[in-house]
A and B are shown apart, each in its own frame.
Chain A
Amino acid sequence: MKTTAFLDQINNGYALLLLGENEEETLDVKLSTLAQYISEPVKEGDVLEIIFSKEREVVGASKMIEETKRRHKEAVAIMNRLMYGTSEV
């Protein structure tokens, strides 16, 4: 099963992934597991595509680079509107 995940935090060799429609589900995955499928290091804020086995083990992963960029741009725009009243600063 493929799903989109947001990498919220990295702590001591583990990535905390947020899953589900509203990202309310959490899953800790070893960075070494992700490294089997993603050649460059992952970082906090990355949006990933995760493939799970029936046993809910991670059997595939890739970076969703365009989605990560899109979300970052959107988050910056919202924060700028809250801080400065405009999305373009």
Chain B
Amino acid sequence: MFLIHFLDVGRGDSIILQFENGRTYLVDSNEVAGKTTPFEYLTQILGVKELETVVVTHPHRDHIQGIQRIIEHIPTRQIWLSGYPWESQIHKNLTFALEQRQNIRVFFPRSGTFIAEGKDRVQILAPPANLFRGTHSDINNASIVLKVTIVNQRQDTSTSAILGADAELASWMQILMEHGKRLKADLLKVSHHGSQYGSDEEVLAAICPNYAVISVGENLYGHPEASALQIIEKFTSVRTFRTDVNGACVFESDGIEWRYL
């Protein structure tokens, strides 16, 4: 059984993927006082002893806080970075530490890449080979966007989830152009905490998820924004979850359907 955990980390993202082959991925990390950190969730709740992959979708603070501690304390085989150079001290410390640690492979995934995890697949939808320049937010549009496909070989069926990171319209339009109707997924991690810049009607119509999850916490920015919620709810057929309302959201899939636990 495949498990996906959307952690409640306040205004930020942290997602854990547990594949049936025993491998675990961490996608982003954020730490907020008073909430279980991704490190604690991995080690104390899930008992994870090693990570196959840590994905840093992009270098904004609310996606990388705690990553360095995690890779220092949990054996990690590889880390994926967007390649966007960012000048914050926390990002500098992380990249500098990665330069020193030869035992962690650093990978810069680009759209079109597939990774097999047993019978399941991880597909890189974004960023493209050449990162965007001159968009509303180049750093957000450099986000690593993933599509995870869970295969049930006996039934010849599959389920899927798209993790939208903080991708904005420029990135989504590129993804839509490349994938069109194949973008369809059952589960969507809504982009950019429900910002108006992360949800587009044409994109949501293509994905047409059964479930949407918004990773969001208390903020002054108005996330999730009413205009984004309207689009998300219009195209989400079953239910929209919010980590600030529902807490950590955990789903499992056998490749036939998703179940909210």
Query: In the complex, are the beta carbons of A71 and B87 less than 8 A apart?
Result: yes
Closest to A47 in B: B87
Interface size class of B (residues with CB under 8 A): 20 to 34
Does A44 sit at the interface, judged by CB under 8 A?
yes
Does B175 sit at the interface, judged by CB under 8 A?
no
Q: Which residues of B contact A26 (CB under 8 A)?
A: 61
Query: In the complex, are the beta carbons of B95 and A82 less than 8 A apart?
Result: yes
Query: In the complex, are the beta carbons of B93 and A16 less than 8 A apart?
Result: no
Does A51 sit at the interface, judged by CB under 8 A?
no
A82 touches which of B65, B81, B93, B195 (Cβ 8 Å):
B81
Query: In the complex, are the beta carbons of B95 and A44 less than 8 A apart?
Result: no
Does A12 sit at the interface, judged by CB under 8 A?
yes
Among B151-159, B206-214, B220-228, B251-259, the one that faces the other chain is B220-228
A12 touches which of B83, B84, B88, B221 (Cβ 8 Å):
B221
CA distance A79 to B108 in the complex (A): 10
Does B96 sit at the interface, judged by CB under 8 A?
yes
How many residues on A have C-beta within 8 angstroms of the other chain's C-beta atoms?
29
Query: In the complex, are the beta carbons of A78 and B195 less than 8 A apart?
Result: no
Query: In the complex, are the beta carbons of B221 and A14 less than 8 A apart?
Result: yes
CA distance A75 to B219 in the complex (A): 28
Query: In the complex, are the beta carbons of A23 and B88 less than 8 A apart?
Result: yes
Q: Which residues of A contact B61 (CB under 8 A)?
A: 8-9, 16, 18, 23, 26
CA distance A44 to B61 in the complex (A): 12
Query: In the complex, are the beta carbons of A83 and B83 less than 8 A apart?
Result: yes
CB B93 to nearest CB in A, in angstroms, measures 7
Query: In the complex, are the beta carbons of A74 and B223 less than 8 A apart?
Result: no
Closest to A46 in B: B87
Q: Which residues of B contact A24 (CB under 8 A)?
A: 65, 90
A79 touching B95 in the complex, CB below 8 Å, given contacts A9-B60, A11-B223, A12-B222: yes
Of all A-B residue pairs in the complex, the 5 with the closest CB atoms, nearest first, are: A71-B87, A11-B221, A75-B85, A23-B89, A79-B85
Binding site for A on B (CB under 8 A): 60-62, 65, 81, 83-93, 95-96, 98-99, 106, 108, 137, 139, 195, 219-223, 225
Known: A6-B89, A83-B83. 4 other contacts (CB 8 A): A12-B195, A12-B222, A75-B92, A75-B95
